[in-house]
Chain A
Amino acid sequence: MKRALSWIWPDKLAGRATLALLAGLLALHVASVWIHEASLRGRQQTVREQVIATDLRQVWRALASIRAEGRDAAAHALSGPGLELHWREGAAPPDQAGTEASLSGFRRLLLRHAPELTDVRLDWADSTTRHLLVGALPVDAAGYVAFAAPMFRHAEATPFDPDGFAALATMALVIAIVSVVVMRGLTQPLRELSAAADRIGRDGAAVRIAESGPAEIRQAARAFNAMQDRIRRLLDDRTQALAAVSHDLRTPITRLRLVAGFIENGVTRERVDANLDDMAAMVEATLLYMRDGRDAEAPRPTDLATVLRTLCDDAADAGEAVTYSGPEQAVTALRPVAMRRALGNLLGNALAYGGSAEVRLIEAGASLRVEVSDRGPGIPEAAQEVVFEPFRRLEASRNRATGGVGLGLTIARRAVEAEGGTLRLRNRRGGGLTAVVELPLAAV
C-alpha cells in the first residue's frame, strides 16, 4: 500500500507540486461543471413549470367556458406532448399525503400565475424518480380535468464528454509543463543549499550560497550562511585555544630542558629529558595538525625517490634497520614539506611498532605507490580505519615506548589526500603491517 502510494506520490518537490496542482485543477473543473449544470437545470425546471402553469390556466378557462359534453373532446384537443389532458366527471380525488412537500414549490408558482386554481391536486405518478407530474384540476361541479406533465430532464454535460475532456487534458498538460519548469526554478536554490551543505568541512574553505530567490529560500540561505559562520567561529576558537596552549607549552618545555641540565643524578636527568622529548613531540604534532590547511604550500615537481631515500638514509644513520628499493627517479607534483612529513610519520610508525622497516617505491602506470612495511604486530582489520582518526590510539599501543599523541596517521592521510592520493593500511602475510600510499602521477 505504502509502496503503491510512493509510486504515485513523486519524490521530488517539483513533482509533488505539479501533482497537487493537477489534482486541484481536476477538482475545480469537476466542481465548476457540476455547478453550471445544476444552475442550468434549475432554470430549465423553472421555465417548464411556468409553461405548465400557464397551460393549465388556459385549459381551465377554456374548459370552463364550454359545455360539459364537449369538454372531453376539448381536453384531448388541448393535449400536447408536454401536457396530457383528460376530462373526468365527478369530484377530483383528494391529494395524496406525503407528496405535498416536494410539490409545494410548483404549487406556489402555479397559484402565482393562476390564483383561481386553488383547488388543484398535484402528485407524482412515480414518487421515486419524479419524472411525471400528475394532477387534477376541478373545473366546476360537472367534473375535473386530469393532467400529466413529464418533467423533462435534459441530457447532462458530464465533465468527461469528449470536448470537455480534451480541454481538461490540454489544460492539465500546459499546467504540468509550466509548473515543472517553475518548480524546478523554485527548488534550484534548495538543491544548491544541499550541495553546499554537503561541501562543508571537506576542505577548509567557507561555502557561501547566494541569498536570492523567494523569501523563504532567501531566509534559508541567510540562516545557512549564518550557521556556517557560527560553526566556523566556534571551530576557530577551539583551534586557536588548542594551538595557543600547544604554542605556549614550547617555552616551558624549553625552560624545563634547560633546568634538567642541572639535575645531578644522571638517570633522573635522562628520564626527565625523555619525558620532555615526548612532550615536545606531542606539541609539535598538535601544532602541525592545527595548522593544517593554513600552510600555503603549493604543489611542485618533486623527486619522490629522493624524499624516500633521505628519510631512509637518515633513519639508517640513526641506527634503525631500514631498507629502501625503488627507481632512480620518480617525479610528480606534490607539496614536498607535507609529503616528507607524511612519509616520515609512516616510517616512524613502522620503526616504533615493528622495529624495522622496508620502504618500496613502485611506478604503477598512472600512479606512484609507496609501501612502508614492518614486521610488528599489525593492526586488526576492524581498527585499520579507526587509527586515522585524530588523537586516536589503539589501546595496545598506549605505552611509553611508542609514545605519540595519535596524530601521525591523521596528518599523513591528509597530506596524501591533498595530492589526490590514498593511504591505506593492510596486514602482511607472515605478520606485520604495510602502509600503502597511492599518489597520482601528476603531469609535471
Chain B
Amino acid sequence: MWGSIEQPRHILVVEDDAEMRHLLSCHLRDSGFLVTSVGDGRQMRRYLAAPSAAIDLVLLDIMLPGASGIDLLKDLRASSSLPVVLLTALGDETDRVLGLEFGADDYIAKPFGRRELVARLRAVLRRVGATPESPSPAVNSLALGFEGWVLSIGRRELVSPKGVLIDLSATEFDLLMAFLANPQRVLGRDQLMEAAHRRLGDAFDRSVDVQVSRLRRKIEPSGAPNLIKTVRGAGYIFVGEVMRL
C-alpha cells in the first residue's frame, strides 16, 4: 500500500553473505523497493561516492569483513545524514547500543522476520521523510533530560530523578520520544499513533489514550506534577522542560 502510491525508495544493502544479500534484495524488491546490494564497505563507499547514487536508506550488516558496520556508520555519519538501519546479531546488546549511539536510525536483529524488516525500513523512511529539514532534537543526541528524568536513547532506558530505572514498553518509549521531540506542542492522536506505530507491523491494539495513560502512570507517580496534559479534542501536550544531555 505504500510502494504503490509513493515513488519507490532506493535501498543499499551492505551484506557479505552472498545468499543473504541475494534473498534480501529479492524480498525488498518484492516489497516495492529499489535495491542495490554490495558485499563490503569498500564497495559501499565506492557506490555512495558515485554522483548518480540516489540512495534513500542503507541497510548495513554489522559483521563485515574488513571495516565493521560500526566503522562504516561512523564514517558515513561524518559526512551525511543518510538513514542507516543496522543488521545486528541477536542479543549483541553492545553492537546495538553502539550502533544507535553512533547515529544509526534503527537496528534489526538476526534472525528477523520478513514483515518486521519491511515495517522497520518503512518506518525509518517515513520518519526521516516527515522531517527532512530539521531533524528532531532527539535524533542526534544520546540522552534527553526533563524535570530530573533521563531518557537514554541508545539504551532505550528511562531513569527517574531518584536514579531508579523505570521500565517502558517499546510503544511507551516511542510515545515519550515523540513528546520529548515536541515539547510544549500539542500532539494529535494521529501524530502519536504514527510515532508509536512504527514498531508494530500490524494493528495497534489499544487506543493511543490507553498507551498514553500507561506512560503517564510510569512518569507521573501519584503526587508528582503532570508532565503530559490532555488537550480536550486535540490530543496531548508535554509541558516539561526538555534538554539534550
Contacts and interface: CB of A to CB of B under 8 A. Distances in A.
A276 B24 CA distance: 17
B46 interface: no
Interface string A330-354: 0100001100100000000000000
Interface stretch (B36-44, B142-150, B162-170, B176-184): B162-170
Interface stretch (B4-12, B106-114, B122-130, B237-245): B106-114
Given A254-B112, A258-B27, A258-B114, A284 B91 contact: yes
B26 A331 contact: no
A300 B172 contact: no
Given A247-B89, A258-B24, A287-B90, A331 B111 contact: no
A292 B5 CA distance: 47
B218 interface: yes
A258 B23 contact: yes
B91 A336 contact: no
Interface in A268-286: 273, 276-277, 280, 283-284
Interface in A289-326: 291, 295, 300-303, 306-307, 309-310, 313-314, 317-319
B20 interface: yes
B91 A310 contact: no
A257 B166 contact: no
B222 A328 contact: yes
Interface string B202-236: 00011000000010011001100000000000000
A250 B110 contact: yes
A251 B167 contact: no
Contacts of B162: 301, 331
Contacts of A251: 17, 20, 110-111
Nearest to A279: B111
A302 B218 contact: no
Interface in B156-196: 160, 162-172
Most chain A CB within 10 A, of B91, B112, B167, B218, is at B167
Interface string B40-70: 0000000000000000000000000000000
A261 interface: yes
B19 interface: yes
A261 B167 contact: no
A31 to B, nearest CB: 76
- Contact-residue size bin, chain A (C-beta under 8 Å from the other chain): 35 or more
Contact of A301 (B113, B165, B172): B165
A253 interface: yes
Interface in A239-264: 247, 250-251, 253-255, 257-262
A254 B111 contact: yes
Interface in A213-259: 247, 250-251, 253-255, 257-259
B133 interface: no
A290 B95 CA distance: 18
A329 interface: yes
Most chain B CB within 10 A, of A319, A331, A444, is at A331
Interface residues of B, number: 36
A159 B169 CA distance: 89
A257 B164 contact: no
A172 B170 CA distance: 78
A240 to B, nearest CB: 15
A258 B29 CA distance: 12
A306 B171 CA distance: 14
Contact of B218 (A280, A287, A309, A314): A309
Contacts of A295: 93
A254 B20 contact: yes
B23 A336 contact: no
Nearest to A304: B167
A258 B165 contact: no
Contacts of B165: 300-303, 336
Given A251-B20, A309-B218, A314-B170, 12 more contacts: A253-B110, A258-B23, A261-B114, A301-B162, A309-B214, A309-B217, A310-B168, A317-B206, A319-B205, A328-B222, A336-B165, A444-B164
Interface of A: 247, 250-251, 253-255, 257-262, 273, 276-277, 280, 283-284, 287-288, 291, 295, 300-303, 306-307, 309-310, 313-314, 317-319, 328-329, 331, 336-337, 340, 444
26 contacts: A250-B90, A250-B111, A251-B110, A254-B20, A255-B17, A257-B112, A257-B113, A258-B20, A258-B27, A259-B23, A261-B27, A262-B27, A283-B111, A288-B91, A295-B93, A302-B165, A303-B167, A310-B167, A310-B172, A317-B171, A317-B206, A319-B205, A331-B162, A331-B164, A337-B93, A340-B167
